[in-house]
Each structure stands twice: as structure tokens, then as C-alpha cells.
Chain A
Amino acid sequence: MSEALLEVKSLKKYFPVKQGLLGRTVGHVKAVDDISITLQPGETFGLVGESGSGKSTVGRTVLRLTDKTDGEVKFKGVDIHSLSAADMRLIRPQMQLIFQDPYSALNPRVRVGDAIGEALLDHGLCTRGEVRELVLEAMVACGLSSYHIDRFPHEFSGGQRQRIGIARALILNPELIIADEPVSALDVSIQAQIINLFSKLQQSKGLAYLFISHDLSVVEHLCSRIGVMYLGSMVETASRDELFQHPLHPYTKALLSAVPVPVPRLKRERIVLKGDIPSPANPPSGCKFHTRCPFAVEVCKAEIPLFRDAGAGHFVACHLV
């Protein structure tokens, strides 16, 4: 097997909880607790989980937008959290981020063309004369029109802005794109367009995606491997077909049973989880999911389940499997 593009090993990100006048640290919110992901070049890994499960924090920590607490993030074999600020800046064009909210991710006072092209200039990847041509090329590749180049972000719809964000990331020719819920702020018809754009770009450029989403149907459409997160931990990882056909973890089963199916007569068993996701500042003992698991037994409260191989690259963390 060739060298992995991205290798995340036991990544942990704890946010300190401070209290009182002196700001003493009274505890930690374990936003990301021991996550490992391996991504091959050109592969798409989907990261799913409900709100607050730490998906976005994984993305941000992988990109070093926040510092890690522990673990390792290797991009092409380089531990990016140990790079100096200057070296980090130089490696950044190779790993780009698509934001969830296309409205706030664009500076309202910067023309679209400048926003897309400025990073090229700052990294010296092209000359001042070439930049406009390259920007137009990227814009057209992302389904924008050339006359949009001199407009400001507020003159665009949400879907168009997301295309601008994609063009901005793409023009740097990255090898890895981390997409942090890139379609959840868009309405459904636009979602489809953007997702198709993602898969089209992947085919033409051989991009690897770390696709973060809470929408299983989107992930099913786009990803080859899927990881399910719950409360900062990975509960199940498998290839797409394996995960959708033979989910092993009760949480995954519950998630899958909630995905709407366009067949009205089909009777399915719907697993409804009770209660809310527990606070990551004070996670349950043992298996983090035992408070909401319909199958929980005594051992779940006491022991943390190991994340083990259930055969054929299907990993799961559950005592009952």
C-alpha cells in the first residue's frame, strides 16, 4: 500500500473548562477523544455524527486551526503540529477547508476574484498577470460564470457562495480537502448540485476528501469509507457498503434507521434513541453510549469497549458485537 495521505493517530482535543475569578481549570470538554483516521490519496472518508460529537473539531485540529491536546496528525508523513508557523504556511495550500456556512466564510469587502486568487499570489504560485486567467478557470470549473469575478459576496446566493468557497480552495491544487458540512446550510436542490460538483472534481483532480456531515444519505452518495462518531469517539468505521448493509454498533443502527427512504409502504424498524447527547465535559463511564443504548448491559457501564476489527476492515467499539 502506498503512503497514506493523511494519518490521524489517537488524536485528542480537550478544551479546558475554566471557572471562578482566577480562571482555574475545573475540567475538560473532551471534544475529540482518541480518534484515528487513515486517508489514502484520492479516497473519500465520511465522518458522521450528531451535533456536538466533535466532527468539526477533528477537521479543525487536522488543519491545525486549533492545537491538539495529544496524538498525531501526519500529512504525507509530516507531523503538521510540529511544524513552525512559516513551514505550516507553506504546506497549507495542499490541504484546504470548505466551510459549513458560505455566508460567513467570505469577507464581505473582498471581491470574489480577489478572494479566490489572493492565496495564489501570496504563495507565489503564479504571477500577477496570470492570476485572473487562473481564477476564471477555477470559477468556471466550479460552475460560476466569468462575469461574477468582480462582484462582492453579498451579490450571490448561498449555493453560489459555496461554489466560490470551493473554487477558492481548489485553485491551490490541494491534495486533501476537508469539507466541514459543506451542504448543510444549503437547500436540498442546491445540495445535490454541490455534491455532484464534489464528485466531479474528485474524478477530474484525484482529490481526497475528509467529508464531515450529519447527513447519512449525502455521505452514502460520496464516501468510500465512513466513520461514525459519538461524543468525541469513533464508534464504528467501515467501508460504505459494509456500514450501510451490516451496521454493528447500536448507535449506527439507530442513525441508519432514521434515514428517510423514498418508499412510503416500506415498514422499517425505527430505533428511537432516548434523551440527548450527554455533556462531553462529563461523559458517561464505560461505553459513552450506554446511557442511550437500547441494548446496554452491566459491562457497558463499567468498561470502555475496545475499538476492534470485526473483520474486513470493519472496526467497531461495542461489547455486544
Chain B
Amino acid sequence: MAADSRVSEITAPRVNLRKSSLFRQSLRRLLHNKLAVAGFAVVLFMFVLCFIGPFFSPYTDNKINMAMMNKAPNLQHWLGTDALGRDILTRVMQAGRISLTVGLASMVLSVFLGALLGAVAGYYGGLLDQIIMRIADLLMTIPSLPLLFIFGALLSEWKIKADYRMYIVMLMLSMVNWPGLARMVRGQMLSLREREFMQAAVVLGLRDRRKLFGHLLPNIVPLLIVMATLNIGGAILSESVLSFFGLGVMPPTPTWGNMIDAANNILDFQERPWLWIPPGLSIFATVIAINIFGDGLRDVLDPKQKR
């Protein structure tokens, strides 16, 4: 910075004119974090594999071939076949579509709900805050897994069509995830509201809308991005657990969870590892990669940290 900043002319600046952008700065720092980049690469790879891969497969996920039951990996079936002679690789890719979609969609829904309700509760306070947060507390006091089991069991009892179950699973996962997010966003709101720049906004006589969308939300967005990313991993994991217990997405629609469930006996476990290792590894790799990427994002998006 030049020592005297009293440049009298408005035009003809001497220093570079490039707009400084928080996004570009963050991106640059993110690219320095090798682990986060690797995590992102794995996530990207899984997405490409699952959404584009099936087009190159000669098999379909539900094509039963009795002649090829329980075959070990070979040249025709790279990852072997299952008890009904279906190609494991194709099924893993197809299952990934479902699992990743469920993860993404439930993340979007729970982040939307959580951010909206948390922001409203934190900004306006009072009765609205009480109502929203007590509902959130109620949902958080019940451990989420048993809650999901009860919902899943009810769905099975009501004989919901298998096609719709995927969407209902998304809704269920968002319902158990939004309270944590809402609480986090509300906490941020409460602390931001008392910051001096918000006092400045009051003195300047800014409108509520600008205070909320111009000053408060931009400070929460980084947190939301990080939470959203980490949330996808959690949602994928929850969906897999539910499907593993036969309460999530129902076979024959493959998901990573119910594919592992299909190998849920000692014989398959010991003799036919190709049945459960590929879906298991997919869950493992995806969730770990998402979490590593999310951690990297968190490091980068902390606004107090600068370089």
C-alpha cells in the first residue's frame, strides 16, 4: 500500500484494478490444500462413475441371468455377479445414482429448512424463536436412527410403493437433519446480530431486508457451504443404514446399503466378498472424501483466517 493514500484524482488509479473477490481468494486457498483437492477428486469421480458409467455398461441393473449366478469377478463381469446373476459393477453404479441423489436432495432440503428457520428464529427472536427452537429440540431429543427406523417401519406397514420410497427417504433424512443446522444458523445469527457492524447498520438506518440479506446472510453462507457438504456425507450414510435394514429404498432398486444387505449371511460374507466389498468401498470412499473436502472447505472459508 502506498504510504500516502491521499490520491486526489478520482480517475487514473495506480494499483491493479482487479476486483478483489472473496470467492477467488477462497478458491486459491482451497487449491493449496492437497487433501481437500483429493477429496473433491474422489467425490467427482464417484459422481461421474455413477451418472455416466451405466451408459457404457452392456448390462442393466436388474437384468437377471440365471446362468451367471454368484460368479467371481471375470472379464465379462469385472466385479462379478450376485445371487440372481446381475452385474455387480452396473448395480454399484446404479446404486450410486440413488445414494448420491438421496444425499444431495436431502442436503438441499435440510439446509434450506435449517437456514430459513434458524435465520428467522435468530433474527426476530421472541415467540417465533421459541416455537421453532422447541420443535427443533424435540426432534433432537429423539435419537435420529430409531426415529428413522420407526418412520421406515411405518412406510413398510402402509405399503408405500417402492418408487416413492426414495423420495420419502429424502424427506425423512431432511426432517432429522434440519434441527442441528437451524440451531447452528440461529447461534450465528445471535452472535452476528450483536456485532458492531450491525450497530453501524442501525445507525445508518438500513432496512431490515438489507440487514438480513446484505449483512447477516453473507456471513453465514460459508458456514452453510461447509455444513451442507458435511451433511451430504451424513445423509448418504443414513440412507445406506436404512436401506441395509430394509427400511430405506427397497430392492430391486439398488442402493449401496441394500446391496450390502443382500450379502448379509455368513456364506456370502466369507466366500463371495465381491458381493459386499464394492458397495461397501463406495460408501466408505464417498463419505470419507466428502468429509475431507468439507474439512478443507471449513479451513478455507473461515473469514478471520487470511493470507
Which residue numbers of A lie inside 8 Å of B, CB to CB?
A: 63, 65, 88-93, 96-97, 99, 101, 104-110, 114, 118-119, 122-123, 136-137, 140, 143-148, 150-152, 154-155, 157, 160, 163, 165, 168, 172
Contacts and interface: CB of A to CB of B under 8 A. Distances in A.
A110 B208 CA distance: 16
Kindly name the residue among A109, A118, A137, A146 whose own CB sees the greatest number of chain B CB atoms within 10 A: A109
Nearest 6 CB-CB pairings of A with B: A92-B205, A147-B13, A119-B204, A109-B218, A104-B196, A145-B7
Interface stretch (B15-23, B45-53, B124-132, B161-169): B15-23
B60 interface: no
Interface in B171-212: 195-197, 199-200, 202-207, 210
A221 to B, nearest CB: 20
Contacts of A90: 205
B20 A109 contact: no
A293 B125 CA distance: 47
Given A106-B197, A152-B20, 9 more contacts: A91-B205, A92-B205, A99-B196, A104-B195, A109-B22, A110-B218, A119-B206, A122-B207, A147-B15
Contact of B20 (A105, A107, A136, A151): A151
A152 B15 contact: no
Nearest to B218: A109
A168 B201 CA distance: 10
Contact of A104 (B9, B15, B197): B197
Contacts of B19: 150
A140 B197 CA distance: 22
B171 to A, nearest CB: 33
Contacts of A101: 196
Contacts of B200: 97, 99, 105-106, 165, 168
Given A101-B196, A107-B197, A143-B5, A118 B210 contact: yes
A96 B199 CA distance: 11
A96 B303 CA distance: 28
Contacts of B207: 89, 122
A101 B9 CA distance: 29
26 contacts: A65-B202, A65-B203, A92-B203, A92-B205, A93-B205, A97-B200, A99-B199, A101-B196, A109-B219, A109-B303, A122-B205, A122-B210, A140-B7, A145-B5, A145-B7, A145-B13, A146-B11, A146-B13, A147-B16, A148-B5, A150-B19, A152-B20, A160-B1, A160-B5, A165-B200, A172-B204
Contact of A105 (B9, B22, B197, B215): B197
